[in-house]
Structure formats: structure tokens, C-alpha cells
């Protein structure tokens, strides 16, 4: 008997509602795995009117008796991890078992400082608008092969040796490039040892946890953070994050082979948002954008920044279908469109006077893209109580069908509210 394995990833620029979709699907899963990113993520789950925001903990953590895994591809900020665990304990919540891969890299204090200094030093037009969580600098060290891994925190001698070498480089960068104060070795070393003492019981072979669960018939969910258009390779580079949120990242970031993946589910908002800098062809700076922001509560779950809002972009959805091999789309926040008389949806771009239906790999090209819209009628009623596709008003069903026709991919789940129960499942 083999369990089913699903990857759940973001289709757009993040914040599509991946956390809430994972929370719904986790009811049938044995293990939920985060495989990339770090505390730059903010995944919201609402259960019984109580709201939880997870930055590092997989969104299955609220299910006692199940397992949650932080894979090798994640960059872990232990302060945030422990804060999240303590926060749940303070709320009296029992949690799933947590396994952190030995090989996950640790976000060190200098990563966060350098992230913020580097962002501050970027000129207008080149700023990325990072979350300041040390993500880029931590992944840079991983690939430079000078990173500190979770396993190093519980090996004082190795930690001393690695930290001595790495901190020398970091202090050179801090003092000589940014004119900042150097960091004290003793302070960071002691902090890292304290992290090690707390994280030790959680360390494990993440890939084995997943392998054993699947072999014993349990379902596994791989929970992407960020999204396709923020992917270091496939996103709108350089306005991207430093990891691989796309489906392929689930395998490298957890140690699970691609032949064992059953389905890839892309989470897309019924409209579109972006936080931080970079091109966004369907962005609406006027009244429609403001209505989406207010009705959708579009303020960052990690940084509180107002999210940029606009219409759904089917050129981008089609791109996500192709680069991830999507089997299904989970369409969230359909209820946010309840009030609109008309809903626009982008079906092509006009770039330098030419119509183009495929997503350009060049960010400069994308920045020139003018959306070509189709306008569909709104439904002008509250859909938040609908629990089946047939209960939705005709115009809402037509909107969903329009997306699945154009994307040539079925919409397998629909969100009509933030709560766990505010969900229409269509074969997922």
C-alpha cells in the first residue's frame, strides 16, 4: 500500500492561500513537508474563527498525531521556529510531531543584517523589496559552501570552526562594504549552541520520515512557500526570492524522487497580488485595486505591507501550469469578487505592439506588457455560504469554467472564505 503524494504550490507571486489549502488537505495526510524558503513565508490558517500565521512551521502543525517536516531545502531561523512553537503552546494547542532535517541551513544573525543593509544600499529601480528575513544571504552561503547547517548546532567543535571562518568573511563585509560594526563571535556562538540544545530532539532524517509514511500508506503533502513567479529560475528575476518554490523544488528540497509524486496542485487567487518590487502587468492602481485590497485584506502576513492588487492573469497561470506540470488549480478568494459588476481577466499581453500569449522570460519584456482583457459579468451576491459548485451563482461558475478552459486544467478546489470550512472541493 502506498500513500498519495501531492505538491501544493503558489501559481502567482505568493499569498495565494497555500496555507489554508494545505490545512484543508492535511486532514487526509500523514505528513506535511515544507521544502524551501524560510520565515519570509506567512501562511494563514483559520480554524473555528481562530487565526494562525505560520512562517516556518508546515500548515499541518495543528493536527495532533500527524508529522510535519522541515526539509533540507528550507532555511531555518531558530528564533522564529521556537517563537511559533511557543505561541501555539501558549494558546493551549497540541501540535503534530516536528522533524527538522539535519541538512537544513540556519539563518544566522549576520544574514538578516546583511539582507537589510544590501536592500538599503540598492538604488531606486533595483530594490527587490525583500522581507528582511535573511533569506538571500543564507542561500548564498549555502551555495558558497560556507553555511551553518542544523546538524552543526549540536556539534560544538564543528560549529566553532565553521563559525570562526564564516564570521571573519561576514565581518569583512559588514565593516568594509557597509561601514557597519563587526559582530562578536562569542555572542553568536553561545546563541547558536542554545539553539542547538533546543533543536536537537527535533533533528532527524527528513527524507526517511517521508519515505516511511508513504510506504505505510500515509498521504504526503509538500507545501510550497512563495510561488512560481518568485522562483529563482522561473520567476521574474531579479525580483524573486532565492529558492525554488516550483514543483521541482519539492524533490530537491526534501529528498523525495520525482517518480513518486502523484499530483501537483497550483494555488491561484481569483485575482492577483504582489508584495515587493517587480513587474505586475495586471496591477490596478485605481479604485478596483483598492477594493480588492480592502475586501481581500491584502496586507502582508509577514511584514504587514499593503499588497499590490490587480486582475487574474491567465498568461501567468498558463506559465505556471507548464513549468510545474499542474494537475489541478485551487482557486482561492473567489468571494472577494462578490461585489464587482464586471470582472476583468487577462488573456494575452501586448508588448511593443505585438500580441503575445506566453509569459516572457525577460523581466524587461514583462515590464512592457500591457494586459489584453476579457470582461466577464460579476455575480453581485454573497457566495461565502456555498459549499458545492452547483450552489454558486451562474456567473461565478462561468468565471471558474473560463479559467479552467483557458488554463486547460481543472479547478479542483474553490475558496469562498478564509475558514477551513469555507471550501468547495471538486475532486480533491
Can you tell me which of 188, 220, 247, 301 binds Mg ion, judged by CB under 5 A? 301
| CB atoms closer than 10 angstroms to residue 40 | 28
Min separation Cβ 38 and Mg ion, Å: 13
Cβ–Cβ < 8 Å for 423, 416: yes
Residues 17-56, mask of contacts with ligand IMO (x by CB under 6 A): -----------------------xxxx-------------
User: Which helix (H) or strand (E) element contains residue 56?
Assistant: none
Residues 261-300, mask of contacts with ligand GDP (x by CB under 6 A): ------------------------------------x---
Min separation Cβ 19 and Mg ion, Å: 7
User: Whole-angstrom Cα distance, residue 231 to residue 248?
Assistant: 11
Nearer to ligand IMO, 71 or 196 (CB): 71
Is residue 43 annotated as part of the catalytic site, yes or no?
A: yes
Indicate which of ligand IMO, ligand GDP, Mg ion, none lies near residue 331 (CB less than 5 to 8 Å, by partner kind): none
Is residue 77 annotated as part of the catalytic site, yes or no?
A: no
Cβ–Cβ < 8 Å for 264, 256: no
Residue among 50, 144, 154, 139 nearest 102 (CA): 154
**How far is CA 302 from each of CA 39, 131, 133, 170, 268, rounded to the nearest angstrom?**
8, 8, 10, 26, 19
Question: Which of the 8 DSSP states describes residue 273?
Answer: E
Q: Which stretch binds ligand GDP (CB under 6 A): 8-16, 151-159, 162-170, 171-179?
A: 8-16
Compute how many residues bind ligand GDP; rule: CB under 6 A.
23
Indicate which of ligand IMO, ligand GDP, Mg ion, none lies near residue 46 (CB less than 5 to 8 Å, by partner kind): ligand GDP
Residues 120-139, mask of contacts with ligand IMO (x by CB under 6 A): --------xxxx-x-xx---
The helix/strand/coil state of 342 is strand
**How far is CA 119 from each of CA 58, 122, 276, 382, 408, rounded to the nearest angstrom?**
28, 5, 11, 42, 39
Q: 114: Cβ–Cβ under 8 A, 6 or more apart, which residues? A: 134, 137, 170, 173, 174, 178
The answer to whether residue 335 forms part of the interface with ligand GDP (CB under 6 A) is yes
Nearer to ligand GDP, 141 or 223 (CB): 223
User: Whole-angstrom Cα distance, residue 66 to residue 81?
Assistant: 18
Nearer to ligand IMO, 101 or 302 (CB): 302
Q: Which residues pair with 89 in a beta bridge?
A: none
Q: Which stretch binds Mg ion (CB under 5 A): 9-17, 112-120, 166-174, 394-402?
A: 9-17
Residues 228-267, mask of contacts with ligand IMO (x by CB under 6 A): --x----------xx-------------------------
Cβ–Cβ < 8 Å for 372, 345: no
* Catalytic site residue from 6, 23, 43, 422: 43
Indicate which of ligand IMO, Mg ion, ligand GDP, none lies near residue 409 (CB less than 5 to 8 Å, by partner kind): none
The answer to whether residue 15 forms part of the interface with Mg ion (CB under 5 A) is yes
Nearer to ligand GDP, 20 or 34 (CB): 20
Min separation Cβ 22 and ligand GDP, Å: 8
> Beta strands of 296-353 (E only): which ranges?
308-310, 312-313, 328-332, 342-351
The answer to whether residue 301 forms part of the interface with ligand GDP (CB under 6 A) is yes
Question: Which of the 8 DSSP states describes residue 149?
Answer: B
Cβ–Cβ < 8 Å for 76, 56: yes
Instruction: Catalogue the active-site residues.
Output: 15, 43
- The residue ranges that bind ligand IMO (CB under 6 A) are 10, 13-15, 40-43, 128-131, 133, 135-136, 225-227, 230, 241-242, 275-276, 301
Amino acid at each position: 500500500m502506498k500513500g498519495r503524494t501531492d505538491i501544493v504550490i503558489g501559481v502567482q507571486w505568493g499569498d495565494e492561500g497555500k496555507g489554508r489549502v494545505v490545512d484543508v488537505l492535511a486532514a487526509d495526510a500523514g505528513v506535511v513537508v515544507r521544502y524551501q524558503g524560510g520565515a519570509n513565508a506567512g501562511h494563514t490558517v483559520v480554524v473555528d474563527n481562530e487565526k494562525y500565521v505560520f512562517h516556518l512551521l508546515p500548515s499541518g502543525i495543528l493536527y495532533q498525531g500527524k508529522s510535519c517536516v522541515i526539509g533540507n531545502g528550507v532555511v531555518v531561523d531558530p528564533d522564529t521556529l521556537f517563537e511559533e512553537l511557543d505561541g501555539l503552546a501558549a494558546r493551549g494547542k497540541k501540535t503534530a510531531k516536528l522533524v527538522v532535517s539535519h541538512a537544513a541551513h540556519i539563518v544566522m544573525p549576520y544574514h538578516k543584517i546583511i539582507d537589510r543593509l544590501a536592500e538599503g544600499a540598492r538604488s531606486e529601480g533595483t530594490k527587490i523589496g525583500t522581507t528582511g528575513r535573511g533569506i538571500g544571504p543564507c542561500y548564498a552561503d549555502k551555495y558558497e559552501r560556507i553555511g551553518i547547517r542544523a546538524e552543526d548546532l549540536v556539534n560544538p567543535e564543528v560549529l566553532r570552526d565553521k563559525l570562526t571562518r564564516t564570521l571573519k568573511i561576514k565581518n569583512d563585509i559588514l565593516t568594509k562594504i557597509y561601514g557597519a560594526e563587526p559582530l562578536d563571535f562569542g555572542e553568536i556562538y553561545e546563541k547558536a549552541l542554545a539553539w542547538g540544545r533546543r533543536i536537537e530532539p527535533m533533528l532527524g532524517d527528513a527524507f526517511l520520515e517521508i519515505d516511511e509514511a508513504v510506504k505505510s500508506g500515509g498521504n504526503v503533502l509538500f507545501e510550497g512557500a512563495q510561488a512560481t513567479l518568485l522562483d529563482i529560475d522561473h520567476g521574474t528575476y531579479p525580483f524573486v526570492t532565492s529558492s525554488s518554490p516550483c514543483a521541482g523544488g519539492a524533490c530537491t528540497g526534501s529528498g523525495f524522487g520525482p517518480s513518486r509524486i502523484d499530483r501537483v496542485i497550483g494555488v491561484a487567487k481569483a485575482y492577483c497580488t504582489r508584495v515587493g518590487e517587480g513587474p505586475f502587468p495586471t496591477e490596478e492602481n485605481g479604485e478596483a485595486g483598492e477594493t480588492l485590497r480592502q475586501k481581500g485584506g491584502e496586507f502582508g502576513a509577514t511584514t504587514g505591507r499593503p499588497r499590490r492588487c490587480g486582475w487574474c492573469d491567465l498568461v501567468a497561470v498558463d506559465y505556471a501550469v507548464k513549468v510545474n506540470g499542474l494537475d489541478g488549480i485551487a482557486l482561492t478568494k473567489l468571494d472577494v469578487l462578490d461585489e464587482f459588476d464586471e470582472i476583468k481577466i487577462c488573456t494575452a499581453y501586448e508588448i511593443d505592439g505585438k500580441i503575445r500569449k506566453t509569459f516572457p522570460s525577460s523581466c524587461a519584456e514583462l515590464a512592457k506588457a500591457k494586459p489584453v482583457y476579457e470582461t466577464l459579468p460579476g455575480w453581485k451576491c454573497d457566495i461565502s455560504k456555498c459549499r458545492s459548485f452547483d450552489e454558486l451563482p451562474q456567473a461565478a461558475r462561468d468565471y471558474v469554467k473560463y479559467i479552467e478552459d483557458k488554463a486547460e486544467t481543472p479547478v479542483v478546489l474553490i475558496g469562498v472564505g478564509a475558514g477551513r470550512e469555507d471550501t468547495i472541493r471538486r475532486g480533491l
